[in-house]
């Protein structure tokens, strides 16, 4: 067998095994269910209020937006977290010591994170379909839109996660990244239409993938007339694909460079050094 093919296959197997592990670890399951339950409750509470200028429920509008955030978060934050944590605990060094191990490791992580995102989308969407009225998921087109937004969203966010994960060597510094990300989520029209925000803020959020993922998901799940509350009164599919692809291309160019640099620096003593620092924090 060709060594690269073998590494790819080992990577796919690795992703499968790790997915099975995470879904059989109570702590991890709690990590999936807890935010979902909280979001569903928040959205249920918002069911009564309507979007300004329409009689459409805010709860129903928020559901697809939240799915968009789940993709962005799942792709970016999960990959970033895995890279920093597994660099500290020596998993990456182990991969480096194995022939084709780094390739296998990355493929495994992509499979795992994609699977995690799919599951977290499903556990929000399925109960949501019963809890919220006015979702327009009754056409093949709607599901197709959901599928392509999901796919391009993962390709756009995972490389960014990999880059950030390579740059931060200490898992405890990730709060530095999380804060602005949370700010972006708040301003990206997830819980209310982005058009009520000042225009300069609208410009800023349209640079980042979170807004476009929310928009894409809304375009898939909401009736077409809801596009009226969006910027330009349109779902802007072309722009969505454009911006997300740009992030994807950018990420796929930068990520391998940064990952390679990070991998090159891994050695037994660098892992030992981080371990000692971590031990000091515990003590």
Q: Footprint of another protein on this chain (CB under 8 A)?
A: 1-3, 5-7, 9-10, 13-14, 17-18, 21-22, 25, 86, 89-91, 93-94, 96-101, 104, 266-269, 271-272, 275
- Nearest distance from C-beta of residue 169 to another protein, angstroms: 15
Nearer to another protein, 153 or 165 (CB): 165
Max Cα-Cα span within the chain: 62
Q: 37: which 2 tokens? A: 């339950």
CA dihedral 14, 17, 23, 25 (to 10 degrees): -100
Nearer to another protein, 86 or 230 (CB): 86
Tell me how many helices (H) and strands (E) the chain has: 11, 0
Nearer to another protein, 85 or 197 (CB): 85
3-state secondary structure 237-250: HHHHHHHHHHHHHH
Contact 221, 142 (CB under 8 A): yes
Q: 216: which 2 tokens? A: 């894409």
Q: What is the rounded distance in angstroms from the CA atom of residue 44 to the CA atom of residue 28?
A: 25
- Nearest distance from C-beta of residue 141 to another protein, angstroms: 40
Q: 149: which 2 tokens? A: 């937004």
- Nearest distance from C-beta of residue 216 to another protein, angstroms: 33
- Give strand pairing partners of 50: 57
- Nearest distance from C-beta of residue 267 to another protein, angstroms: 4
Other CB atoms within 10 A of residue 186 CB: 13
CA distances from 162 to 49, 156, 165 (A): 39, 11, 5
Residue 82: what are its φ and ψ, rounded to 5°? -60, -45
Nearer to another protein, 5 or 139 (CB): 5
Nearer to another protein, 108 or 193 (CB): 108
Residue 106: what are its φ and ψ, rounded to 5°? -65, -45
Nearer to another protein, 11 or 64 (CB): 11
- Nearest distance from C-beta of residue 77 to another protein, angstroms: 19
Nearer to another protein, 47 or 94 (CB): 94
- Nearest distance from C-beta of residue 159 to another protein, angstroms: 23
- Nearest distance from C-beta of residue 84 to another protein, angstroms: 13
Nearer to another protein, 42 or 97 (CB): 97
Q: What is the rounded distance in angstroms from the CA atom of residue 197 to the CA atom of residue 219?
A: 20
SS3 at position 208: coil
- Nearest distance from C-beta of residue 256 to another protein, angstroms: 16
The dihedral sign for the CA sequence 6, 89, 17, 118: negative
């Amino acid at each position: 067998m060709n060594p690269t093919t073998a590494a790819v296959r080992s990577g796919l197997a690795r992703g499968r095994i790790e997915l099975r592990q995470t879904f059989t670890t109570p702590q991890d399951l709690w990590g999936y269910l807890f935010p979902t339950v909280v979001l569903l409750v928040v959205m249920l509470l918002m069911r009564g209020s309507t979007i300004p200028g329409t009689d459409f429920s805010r709860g129903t509008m928020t559901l697809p937006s939240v799915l968009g955030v789940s993709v962005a978060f799942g792709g970016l934050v999960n990959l970033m977290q895995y890279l920093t944590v597994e660099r500290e605990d020596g998993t990456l060094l182990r991969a480096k010591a194995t022939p084709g191990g780094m390739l296998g490791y990355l493929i495994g992580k992509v499979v795992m994170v994609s699977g995690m995102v799919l599951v977290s989308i499903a556990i929000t969407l399925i109960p949501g379909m019963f809890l919220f009225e006015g979702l327009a998921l009754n056409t093949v087109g709607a599901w197709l839109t959901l599928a392509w937004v999901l796919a391009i969203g993962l390709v756009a966010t995972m490389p960014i996660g990999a880059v950030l994960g390579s740059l931060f060597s200490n898992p405890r510094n990730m709060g530095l990244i999380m804060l602005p990300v949370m700010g972006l989520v708040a301003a990206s029209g997830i819980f209310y239409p982005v058009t009520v925000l000042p225009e300069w803020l609208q410009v800023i959020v349209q640079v980042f993938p979170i807004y476009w993922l929310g928009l894409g998901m809304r375009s898939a799940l909401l009736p077409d007339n809801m596009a009226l509350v969006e910027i330009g009164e349109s779902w802007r599919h072309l722009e969505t694909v454009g911006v997300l692809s740009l992030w994807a291309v950018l990420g796929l160019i930068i990520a391998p460079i940064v990952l390679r640099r990070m991998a090159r620096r891994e050695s037994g003593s660098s892992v030992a050094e981080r371990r000692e620092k971590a031990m000091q924090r515990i003590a």
